[in-house]
Amino acid sequence: MIPLDGDVLSFFYRRDILKHFNLKVPRTWDEYAEVAEAVHGKTYNGTTLSGSCVGRVEGCVGSYWANLVHSSYTQSGGTKTGHMFNPRDMSPLAGEALTETIRQLEIQNKFGVKEEFEGCCCGEEGINIKHFLDGSCAMTYNWGDNYKIHFSEDSKVGGLVGVAQTPGSTRVLDRETGKLVDCDAERCRYGEWFEDIGWVNRAPYAAFAGGWAAAVAENAPPVQQRLAADFFAYASSFERSSIGIIPNATGPLSSFNGQDPFRTSHFELSNWLEKGYPEEGTINYRDTVAKSLNSENLVVDIRFPESDTIMGILDKKIHAYLQRVNRNEISDTDNAFQRQAVAEEIANEWRNIVEEFDNDRSIGSVSLLENYQRDLGVYVPPQDFNYIGNARWFGWSLAILVILTSLGFAAWVTVNRKTRVVKASQPIFLQLICVGTLLMSSSIFPLGIDDEIASQRGCNISCMAIPWLFGCGFSCVFAALFAKTQRVIQVFKAPNFTRITVTVLDVIKPFVALLVINIALLLAWTLADPYVFVRINTSPISSYGSCQSEGDGVTGTVLVSIFAAINILTLIAANVQAFRARQISDEFSESKWIGICLASILQAIIIAVPVAVVTRDQPTVFNILISAFLFIISMTVQTTIFIPKYMLARKKAKAKLRGQESGSLGSSSGISGIRITRGFQTPAQKLQEKQQKEKMVALQAILNEKGLDVTSIFSEVGIDVSETIKDDAEDK
C-alpha cells in the first residue's frame, strides 16, 4: 500500500472568542457542550455567534461525527480493542455509550447553526468551514482543512484559530454490563489526568479509513504493475504531495484540496513557514495531528464487508432522531426514553447484519468477526491445541475398574485370611499386591489432565504425580512378589530338613527397602528437577502439551535413569525367582503365575514403548495407549495372582465339604479323607486302618522337621491328627 493522504479529525476553536468569554478549551464532550451553550446567541465583534457548526445532512459524514463522540466512550484499551464492535465476539458496543453519544450530538445541534441539516462538512459551502471562516462559529471538528483554509484570502479569522485533539470523556463503557463507568488509571490508560476532573479518555479518530492509499493488483500484467507503482510513488512523493498538503497560506479557497499530512517530511516546520504559515499556530496544528496519529488509542474505521451498511444505519437513525428533536416532535420529558430506543434499534440492526452475513456467506468465505479481527490486527488463526479431550474418560474408566477390583480382592483376602490358601501366601503380601495395583492404576488420573481442564499449577502437579503413583505402586507389587518368592524358595530348598520359619517381617523387609529407595529418588527428582507441563508448538497454529523437566533436564534424566534401572532390576530379579520356584505348589508360591504375568507385561512393553514414542505429540492417542498399558499391567497382576488362589480355595472348600459328609456315614477314605471313625469293621478293614495310621505318623514327622504346623495344615483338609495319634497309642 502506498499512502496518498492522512486523515485524522481535530478540534478547532476560536482562541479570541474563548478568551473574551473567559472559557477554557474543552477537554471533554461535556465541556464542549458547556462552551457551546455559553457563547451561542451571544454577540462578538458585531457578529451573532453559534456555539458549534457541524454539517449534518443525511448521507454525508454523519456516521463519522457519531463515531467521533461514541469512540471516546467505547475505546479506552487501545486501537486493537475496537470502538463499534467487540473484537472478541462481534457484539455491538452500544448500551449507555451510544445513548450518551446521541445526547451529546443533540446538544451540539441545539447550539449549532440553523443550517446544519442542509449542508455537509467540507468544501467552500461546507457547514464546518463556511461558518467558521465567516467568524460566526466558535467551535467545530473536522479534518485538517479547517486550519489551512482559515489563512485563505476568503477567511475573516486568519491567525485566530486554535487546534487541539478532539474532546474525550471521563466515563467509558464497561463492556460486560453495557454501563458507563468512571475513568481511572487502568480503564483509561491512554488518557490524560487533570487535577480538576480526573482521568479523561482520549480516542483520536482517523476517520475516513485513516486516509487514502493506493495498491496495485497482483493479477495485472507486470508492465502495468510497474507503471502503476511508479505513478503512485510519484503521487506519494514529498515534492508532489506537498503541493496539496502544504498549499500557499494566503491562496484562494479553491486552492485547498483537503489533503492531510502522511509523511514525516510533511511535519517539518520549515516546509510550512516557507509557504507563509505562522510559526506558533502551525506548531500547534502539527503537534496535534502528530500526537493523534501516534496515539496507541487511535480509532480506525471498520473496514470489512457490510461496513457501509452499518455506518449508514448509524447515520440514518441518529439523523432522523436529531431532526425530530429539532422540529420539536419529541418532548423534553420523552427525550431520554427516545434516545435509548434509538440506540437499541441501531444495536439490534447491527446484530442482524452480522448474523445474516454469517448465515448467507458462501463456502470458504470468512465471518465478519474474522474480518474485523484481521482488520484490527488481533486475529489469531484457530489453534489446534491437541487436547486429550474425551479420551481422558476412557483412561479414567479403566482406572476405576482396576481400583474396584483391587478393593474387591483386598476384601476377599481379609475375609479369607484364615484359610489355608490365603495363609500360605501370607495375607499381608496379598494386600500389598492390591495396594500396588491400586496405586499404579491411579496414575492414569493425572495422566488425563492437561491445560484444557486445569491451571498451569494443576498440570505441573499432575506431571509429577504420575511417576510418584506409578513408582510406588510398582514397588508395592514387584518388591512384594520378589520378597515372597525368595522366602518360599529358602523354605523348600533348605538342606537336611532345616527348620525355617517365614514371618511377615521377612516379606516386609525387602519390600520396605525398595520402597524407601524409590521414594528417596522420587523426592530428589521432585525437588531438584521436577516435571512441569509445557506446551510445545509444532506449527504456528498447532501445539501439544507434554511433561518435561523444569530445568536443564540433566539432573532429572540421571535420577529417572537410576529410578528406572532399580525397578527394572527388581522386575528381572522377580522373574528369576519365579523361574527358580516354578515347581513349588501353588498353595505356597505364585511362581508359575508370576511367570505368566511377567511374560504378559513384557509383551505389552515391547508393543507400547515404540508406539508411545511415535505418538508422543498426539496426546489423545498417547493417553489411550498409556492408560491401556497401565490397565493391562495392573489387571494382569491381579488376575494371575488372585484368580488361581480363588479357584484353589474353592476347590479345597468343596473337598472339605465332601470329606465331612463322608465321615458322618462312618466311612474310611485313607489319608485324603477326614477323621477316621470306628464302626463295624472286618479284619481287612482294621489292617487297612492301621496302615493308614502309620503313614500319617510318618508324614507328621517329616512335616515337623520342615517346620510346618501339622495340626493346622491337616485340619484344613479334614484330618483330626490328635484322634489318629490317640487311636494309635490305644492299639499299642
pLDDT given at position 732 = 44
Residue 632 CB coordination number (10 Å): 19
Tell me how far CA of residue 350 lies from CA of 176, 182, 319, 355, 359, in angstroms: 18, 27, 17, 9, 14
Percent of the chain with pLDDT over 90: 50
pLDDT given at position 719 = 58
Does residue 115 surpass a pLDDT of 80? yes
pLDDT given at position 668 = 39
Q: How many CA atoms lie within 13 A of 321 on its CB side?
A: 28
Buried b (16+ CB within 10 A) or exposed e, 243-271: ebbbbbbebeeeebebbbbbeeebbeeeb
- Please report which helix (H) or strand (E) contains residue 164, including its range: strand 161-164
- Name, in order, each residue with C-beta under 8 angstroms of 413's C-beta and a sequence gap of 6 or more: 422, 427, 430, 431, 434
When pLDDT is averaged across residues 169-195 and rounded to a whole number, the result is 95
Buried b (16+ CB within 10 A) or exposed e, 153-173: ebbebbebbbbbbbbbbbbbb
When pLDDT is averaged across residues 647-652 and rounded to a whole number, the result is 80
pLDDT given at position 591 = 58
- Name, in order, each residue with C-beta under 8 angstroms of 278's C-beta and a sequence gap of 6 or more: 159
Residue for grid cell 437513525: 317
**pLDDT per residue as tens digits for the range 329-357:** 998 889 999 999 999 999 999 999 999 99
Residue 494 zone, left/alpha/beta (φ > 0; ψ -120 to 50; rest): beta
Does residue 374 surpass a pLDDT of 60? yes
Q: How many CA atoms lie within 13 A of 46 on its CB side?
A: 1
pTM, two decimal places: 0.63
* 3-state SS class at 685: helix
pLDDT given at position 612 = 77
**pLDDT per residue as tens digits for the range 546-595:** 998 887 778 777 877 887 788 777 767 766 766 666 555 544 455 566 66
Q: Give Cα 640 to chain centroid, integer Å.
A: 43
User: Taking the alpha carbons of 253, 254, 258, 259 in that order, is the dihedral positive or negative?
Assistant: negative
Per-residue pLDDT band for 684 (boundaries 50, 70, 90) equals low
Residue 364 zone, left/alpha/beta (φ > 0; ψ -120 to 50; rest): left
Tell me how far CA of residue 626 lies from CA of 7, 99, 607, in angstroms: 61, 59, 11
- Per the model's pLDDT, the better-predicted residue between 487 and 477 turns out to be 477
Cell numbers that stand for 371 in this block: 474480518
The CA distance from 149 to 29, in Å, is 25
Per-residue pLDDT band for 646 (boundaries 50, 70, 90) equals confident
Does residue 241 surpass a pLDDT of 80? yes
- Name, in order, each residue with C-beta under 8 angstroms of 71's C-beta and a sequence gap of 6 or more: 83, 203, 205, 299
Mean pLDDT of the chain: 84
Does residue 56 surpass a pLDDT of 90? yes
Percent of the chain with pLDDT over 70: 81
pLDDT given at position 728 = 47
pLDDT given at position 65 = 96
The CA distance from 142 to 127, in Å, is 10
pLDDT given at position 145 = 81
pLDDT given at position 671 = 37
Does residue 667 surpass a pLDDT of 50? no
The CA distance from 355 to 369, in Å, is 10
**pLDDT per residue as tens digits for the range 535-552:** 998 887 889 999 988 877
Does residue 404 surpass a pLDDT of 90? yes
**pLDDT per residue as tens digits for the range 300-335:** 999 898 999 999 999 999 999 999 999 999 988 899
Per-residue pLDDT band for 73 (boundaries 50, 70, 90) equals very high
pLDDT given at position 731 = 46
pLDDT given at position 637 = 86
- Which of 235-244, 499-508, 585-594 is predicted least confidently? 585-594
**pLDDT per residue as tens digits for the range 270-282:** 999 999 999 989 9
